[in-house]
Every structure is written in C-alpha cells, then in structure tokens.
Amino acid sequence: MRVVGADGCPAGWLAVAMPPGEPAAAEAHIVARAVDLLGLGALLAIDIPIGLMDRPEDGPRPPDRAGRVLLRAMNRDGLRGVGSRVFAAPSRVHLDAFHRDRDYAAFRRAHPPPRSLSKQTWFICAKIGELDQLCRAAPDAPVWESHPEIAFAHAAGRTLPPKKHPAGAAARRDLLATRGFDLDSLAEALPRGRKLWAADDLLDACILALTAERIASGRHVGLPSPTARDSLGLRRAIFY
C-alpha cells in the first residue's frame, strides 16, 4: 500500500507517493488530471477544498475558519497575516459562475464583496471544480482534503515563516529531511521547467504524504471537530 500527498502545480498536480513510514522510498510524479492521482496509491491527501458550501449566502466554510484559528494559535513567532494562508473556498454558485464565462471582472460585478472571491481563489477554481466533480462521481474515493500550512505547523509545533521566504523554505526542507525525504532526488525525478512546477509544490506534496500516512493509520485530526459533510455528502473538513 502507498499513500499520496498532492498539490496543484502549473502542469497539473504534483504528487508524492510513498509506503507508509518510508519517506526515503517516496516517488514524485506530475499528472495532468486529478483522477490520475488515484492510481498512485491507496489514500490521497490533497491541498484543495472538497466539501463546499452551496451558496455565498451560506457564509465561509467552517474548516477554513478553523484552519485560520489554528495557524494563529500556533503562531509562536508573531508572524504577520498567518490566517490569510487559508483562503476562502468558493461555493458551488461561485464555481458555476466560473465555468459559465471565466470572466473575473463580470463575476465581481455580479458577486460584490463580501460574497465575492479573491483573484487567487478564482485562478484555482478550475482545479477545485475538477476535484469536486471527481468526488461527486465517486463519493467513497479515498480522497481527503488537507492543507500544507496546517500540516507543517502541526509537524513543527509552530506556524512556520512564509514558504516564499528563505527562512520559511529552509524550515520546511529541514523538517522534511529529518523525516527521511530525499528532496534532491525527488526533484531530479520530475520534469524540468519553471512553468511545470515550483519548489514549494514539492515541499507541500511531501508534507501531505505524511498527512496521508496519519490518516491511513487513524492518527489524523479534522478541522473543525467534530467534522461534517456538505449537502452532497462529501467530507467538509481539513485533515492533518
């Protein structure tokens, strides 16, 4: 049995698959479609919202609120803006608008704040919609939502500096190396090119592979607790 951690990347999805307890034996892959991730292992932890709210009027997702609270509570070093690392997920009404015309300006006019979406969220709506369709078609698929920032904070015992900052990147690399990942070998196994994947995509996939291992062994935690399901029966929680 192998477990998989996956993060979105420009080329599609960057996945790290490993036998539980054996990060040194991990393998890195890039696949174009989310459904292809299911063939890499028996359980998948992925950085994408799954259980969505139906309408903007329903308010923010409870897992997003709980994730922000956790990162703030674990912010031992007084870092700025750690709550913003968990963005507000779109509702299914938002996704319908995205797939209808792909026009962000028109979307903002139709859904002004506070019922709008950030441009960052808008740009990943295609991936959110892709995974939503996959989970709706196979609600019992072993796909679990996670979040790299929360997983790293749990593993480190504190919220880490931003991943784009040299200190944050180094802290993440050091943590994963102590867990047994050979990050250089994993990077060498991936296709070359900045437009295909970024260094932080690989780090995020590695920490989510450890999360998948925790889920497989029943040691995981869900945010919020107790966890819930959305109106379509999909798990609506961030697991770490």
pLDDT tens figures, 51-67: 999 999 998 999 999 99
Contact (Cβ atoms closer than 8 angstroms) between residue 19 and residue 2:
yes
- Gap between the Cα atoms of 15 and 9, Å rounded: 10
Q: Taking all residues of the chain, what is their mean pLDDT, rounded to a whole number?
A: 95
More confident residue, 186 or 115: 186
Instruction: Count CB neighbours of 185 within 10 A.
Output: 12
Q: What is the pTM of this model?
A: 0.95
**Domains of the chain, residue spans:** 3-50+141-223
Which CATH architecture does the domain made up of 3-50+141-223 adopt? Answer: 2-Layer Sandwich (3.30)
Mean pLDDT within 63-90: 97
Q: Between β-strands 3-9 and 27-31, what pairing exists: parallel, antiparallel or unpaired?
A: unpaired
pLDDT bucket at 139, cuts 50 / 70 / 90: confident
SS3 content of the chain, % helix, strand, coil (to 5): 45, 15, 40
List residues bridging with 238 in a β-sheet. Answer: 223
For residues 210-226, b (16+ Cβ closer than 10 Å) or e, as one string? bbbbbbbeeebebbbee
- pLDDT over 90 (residue 101): no
pLDDT bucket at 225, cuts 50 / 70 / 90: very high
Tokens found for residue 38: 């299911």
Distances (CA, A) of 178 to 120, 155, 162, 207: 32, 11, 20, 12
Angle at 183 between CA 48 and CA 121, to 5 degrees: 20
pLDDT bucket at 114, cuts 50 / 70 / 90: confident
